[in-house]
Structure 1
Amino acid sequence: MLIIHHWDTDGIVSAVLAIKALNLEDFINITPPIGEFRFDNRIWKEIEKAEKIYVLDLNLPQEVENIEKETIFIDHHIQKRIKNPYVKQINPVLDGRDFPSASFVVSEYFSLWNYLSALGAVGDIGERAFSIKKVLELLNEKDISKEEALKLVQLIDSNYIVMERESVEKSVNVILELEPKELLEYEKWNKNVEMINNAIEDAISNIKVKDNIAFIEFESKFNIISKVARKVVWEMSYDGAIVVNKNFNGKGQIYFRISSNLVDKIKMNEIINTLKSKGFNAGGKKDVLGCICDKKEIDEVLNVIKKYKC
């Protein structure tokens, strides 16, 4: 069994939920290159060897269309219907339903709900997840406070933010083996968080604001771009954030996040589709867009975003 999952908390806990639901002992879990929405050679080699494949929390229908083995594709991002007959696509968005996380879709599909289902939601929508009754119920079952849930997400996410793909993949087994209170004290993840927080503060020091939308440019080898955007929109209460890492390990990285105030005004799906039509590696959902490109293409991506933003 091969499980291909996103590198963030939602993707990781979705993988753990699937493993638990299927009672798997023999499995391989793998994530794409961090920050890149594609399957690399390493993934395709594992696909060749696999008997059955699960793709979780990865908005990569273009890659899934090319898999010629039994595949279960579970996601909650905006995407088209898969035409590949080998693929069973589980995505409530296709039926007009909105789920806070892939973990919720996985839990519904397998009828398995626990604190990990809630963590995925907290990972994807932050403190807004606590307004969901189911999230609070699941956290309370494990005696996990809101503060502890946020800390667990921060710790799990730290693996991808410091760009350690192997650590992301290993985190699935760590979560399978340890209880939540043990995860909170996991030394390696706590050291990661300390380094990350320093990098985020440095990035936000370069903030510029127009019409209550923040614009931030910085350079970092850490994948902190989404964390910077979330902090600016969720904690600093800006309507939106356009964040640019001008040198993300030799690439350009752009992230656009908007608050609920702008979801009906800015059609994020149209921006994503426009970027894709121009050949850019972009993805997202109704309130967020992520794109990685050549450094020389950053301005072109920003011009597309600004056109729709206006």
Structure 2
Amino acid sequence: MATSAIDNQDAAAIQAAREGVAVYNRSHWGRIRVSDADRLRFLHNQSTNDFQRLQPGQGCDTVMVTSTARTIDLVTGYVLDDAVLLLVSPNRCQFLMEWLDRYIFFADQVVLTDVTAETATFSLVGIDSDVIIEKLGAGSLIGQPYGSHITIEGVIFAVGSGLASPGYTLILPVTEQPKLWERILELGAIELSDRAWEMLRILQGRPAPDLELTDDYNPLEVGLWQTVSFNKGCYIGQETIARLNTYKGIKQYLWGIKLSGNVEPGTTIQVGEEKVGKLTSYTQTPDGHFGLGYIRSKAGGVGLKVQVGEIPGEVVAVPFVSHEYPS
């Protein structure tokens, strides 16, 4: 669905995310608690990142993929003392609960619990997030690696905004939600609406299920190199991903596209008469029209002039994804 023209409130929130601090209520995202003795080995085997190297207090992004390495969801995992808490996309929680459950065999000591209803999630976005996190008592996280987290009075404070912008994510008991939300606003954060978050998601290139994450694409085409371990042992989809990396076999990449007008997602991307890809997301921003789309690698990258339907566009890099082969 195309995102329509913005209002002043959204423009102010996006400016705050870029130059100050904004807050987004992500409580409608899913939260799955993975517990019992085999939890790290299980997640290690079911997704692209290396969970077995993580200690309590650490975290990572990982991609859930099919057996042929097609993308299901981009997930953030936080390793706790007695469990791993997964933050999953809003429309993926039930699917992932059922999908993961299929891979729990008789001898596996793994328990999956959907804790979405009893928890809430906020993300602070922007360079001034440090100021608020300090005032909330979690200043020890400042400067720590992505995914690092601490728990204070039942609230998990974690490094990472969910976007390419600096920030933090808080996961808390739902009973604490109203009080902590008001406190964050009192400390100067500007609220991001769903629409403003979606604009930032598209501008920064965070892929979303059913749009950029589908059965048509694998994590390397998306550009989620930071979520893929090439050194760990076997996992679902590993053979396909290893082969793509070894033989440099990536046929298409996700890019940002500066557009000169409104375009519907799903529109064909062309260079001259040649079809080179497809638009997956579109938004209108304070700076103009912008989209995400997959473009065949042979067609080119940054600076490529394209036609999206009837609308001219230019390919640009987006900060959330990378198309560099790891050295």
Larger-Rg structure: 2
TM-score by length of 1: 0.29
- Relative contact order, CA 8 A, sep 6+: which one is greater? 2
The structure with the largest helix share of the pair is 1
The structure with the largest strand share of the pair is 2
TM-score by length of 2: 0.28
